[in-house]
Amino acid sequence: MNKSAPLSAGLDQTLKQIAALRHQLDQFAPDFKASEISAATREKFVEKTGALMADLQRVREQISTVRFGSIGITLGRSDGIAKFFAFSFVNQEKRNLSGLADAPFYGAGVYAIYYHGKSHQAYQPLSGTETPIYVGKADPAKAYAETVEDQGQALYVRLREHAKNIAKTDLHLDDFRYRAAAIQSGMQAAVEDFMIRLFQPIWNKEIRICYGIGKHGDSATTRANKRSPWDTLHPGRKWAAHTTEDQMARGEIETKIKAHFEQNPIIPDTKRLFKLLSLE
């Protein structure tokens, strides 16, 4: 008896059912309006289709003659090129953010800003450490730039913008340092994402605590927007002063910063950072 016959027949029947389901969805999709479906039905549909997708993927991998597997090296994970970049990046000497005007440079890529001061109580745990207060990227002037000259002065311009914004507030520009590295065009977003996940910088919007340094002045018609936490904690930008309401109260921001440092231990030096990277 051919043992594969029942299996083959079962798969043939399943293929017919899949074709029928797809036809049914095609008929249903053009007239679909989420507002006309109850919340309970929507939730059940999402749950059941999600489970079906997972089951289909599992069976596909079992039946396929081509091995699936996962991506072994990605720029958005703590391995491969991203980890190599992190090692290389933190080996750079930190430079004074206040000295940018005298030292223009070419390149697009990723940068980090560090706090080295004593004047702002909330940031004291960060002072002089390897945990940046902000991580960002600057895209090249040309999409396929092959040299730093082709990339333009993207990193320099972005850092100068941050320096000017800091200088307008109660912060002292001399308290800040930076590192910046030009990297291959097209890779900056993935590396930035890795760095943010690695360091959890409190000024980054992804951390949802003290974001807003990169926010530009609102027009007169949009000043009803709530003031960013960064502007609440660091008043001084004129356009932000015209905004009438805070997204978060100052005390709440400071409480969140303190809790964040307790939950995400600060990296005191490069020795500890290298050890951390080697374990990830």
Residue 194 to residue 90: CA distance in whole angstroms: 14
CB 178 within 8 A of CB 161: no
Q: How many residues does the chain have?
A: 280
Q: Give backbone dihedrals phi and psi of 32, rounded to 5 degrees, phi first.
A: -70, 130
Helix (H), strand (E) at residue 110? strand 109-115
pLDDT, residue 35, reads 59
Tokens of 102: 């005298």
| Matching residue, tokens 């991998």 | 61
d(CA 76, CA 86): 12
Q: Can you give the pLDDT at residue 6?
A: 74
Q: Please give the angle made by the CA atoms of 114, 120 and 121, to the nearest 5 degrees.
A: 110
Alpha helices in 29-107 (DSSP H): 39-63, 80-90
**Amino acid letter for position 150:** D
Instruction: Give yes or no for a contact between 127 and 116, defined as CB atoms under 8 angstroms apart.
Output: yes
pLDDT tens track, the chain, 280 positions = 555 677 787 788 888 888 888 888 777 766 666 557 787 787 788 778 878 887 887 888 788 777 655 444 445 454 566 777 777 788 899 999 999 988 899 999 999 999 999 999 999 999 999 999 999 999 998 878 888 899 999 999 999 999 999 999 999 999 999 999 998 888 888 889 889 999 999 999 999 999 999 875 554 454 457 899 999 999 999 888 888 899 999 999 999 999 999 999 999 998 888 888 776 5
What is the predicted pLDDT for the residue at 280? 57
User: Cα separations (Å) of 188 from 6, 123, 137, 144?
Assistant: 52, 27, 6, 13
